[in-house]
Structure 1
């Protein structure tokens, strides 16, 4: 059932009463998170300086963030390609695992799916209503019968990652659970456990269409396995294992657009480029100094972006992996999520908190925009038509959803690219 915006007041990071913030309010000088800086004992600028000094980046390899600094391209702040549209507090975006930030998916410029504690919510920016799509606080079980499906279902599933494409929603849990639901059908379609290993957490899910057009998903887990599943037949079809957990939060083992190549990053500084059919290693990605938690393919099928706890995102060309093309650096910490727009013009790079960077791909990855706020990032997603950018924020006391819309003042420049 849909719900409109609640009128109750909520209290945010600094103890102030919060409300939804619109673009009109932001143009009049209102903070996009509703923080009343004039009534506080600190300015926004001073708090940002303090936050930058005090934030501690999580590292598995000591001092990896310091060592990577020498390789980075200087960051320039340019013009804004996406304008703030609204900050919605009626949907509380939350984070379960501090390293996994793939919990927000946009399916149109108005529609986005996200985790809010035990609920998968659908938010419509057009109607400003939220709908609960799946409640995992109790027991869920499939209403369809398919070979291999766990008919007894699962109870109190803690969701570590999710993916949505077309009409298919898949959530992954901390105990290896995989739950599939078609958004145009009632009930749950399929329940499966990827692994019964003690370290079974599902780190990422990617839904894609195979060369035959069949719908597949690929799941990576902390048992060092990557599994490919055919949703047309509801059957697993491939499984690859590695010497380290495949621990990424964006496009687990990410597939190239043509489905021929697979890039795998995880609990090891080096990534691997594989043949997607055989699992054979074709080449390695050497340059990061810590564990990687994000990867994404550019739509052209040649360029890969990888995000690491050494605070960098590296851009690679699969035709020559001897050295990364560009090294981009964040402000606070690890790069936990990376997204390209479907037209390949822009790339969003999300840190664990406070910053999402937007780069212009055609200009050699010059930073065109820096979205700056306060709070943990649960996920970042461009709409398929590139018109909207959604960012989930969580700060342990409340959650919200930022929406930025494409600035069409640049439409003339866009047509020249």
Structure 2
């Protein structure tokens, strides 16, 4: 009889398979609540190897994330405006905003459906996760943009503060964007900054606002202390923030009502914006001066040389004369110059531009650099000085001609 019982128990073990949900869990299904609302999924959450796993698409949708799933590699990519999560079925290593992260339980496929570990996913998106054993429920508190916007719209700073105490730094960054759009003051901004928010990391919203000439948003960022010359990183364009204000941009923009691309926005150079940046401590630099020389902008060169650029300064080589008689010129962007380690003085740039194209605007820039700001002419060769003297004389620019003669230039006798 005992042998028969043993064989019966063994048979039960072999036929039930594994892994197996506990009897208690089978009797009482696992529930998930987000901000107090019970979630209803097509497939029920399961307990797998001691961790609660939930249907892939359902949890990301609940957290407001977009989802991509590569069936070939079984790679899952989910993203909000500030958080990007990548994980692979069977792997206990994921990436959150491109940084490695460890999982206690990998994503799994059960009965043809993909499940992901609810705690890791929720926490990756900045949510607070607790297990309510009495109710067999995963309790998620998630601070999203809608809840933050509600507090902002009501002017409820206390509620806004309470929400951000539960939020991740990435969510605090989203909060800063909402504050900018709603033109809230420094008191509100300080709460988001204290919660770890940033308008320059991981994405530089400050630079984007400058490129799009969003004056109100830029002023809010500066006045509330969201950004300053110390915290602002180097721009992706390798020019200064004042350089961004000086540069013309043509940018496709999104219509928020229809979520479609609409005709481009032209961002003209803005000295008003440059002055605003300067008033908050940002300075012009020598690359800004090269841009003004290359674009034949007299007003910009004058402003830049009086707001931070050095008339005797140098940059990477961005301008090059070519041809048998220097009759060809190339202008390079700091991102794409083939001479990133070759130094070039501003006076060399001014010579190249005015010698190649001796327009009135280019000659006035040369005059600004040499006469008004006293640029040293020693980097120029004798032939270059003589060439500039010839141009100055033909344009009746006496002060410039005198400065060139004083530096050793000589009139050519033909």
When normalised by structure 2's length, the TM-score is: 0.24
- Structure with more relative contact order (C-alpha pairs < 8 Å, separation 6 or more): 1
More strand by share: 1
More helix by share: 2
Rg larger for: 2
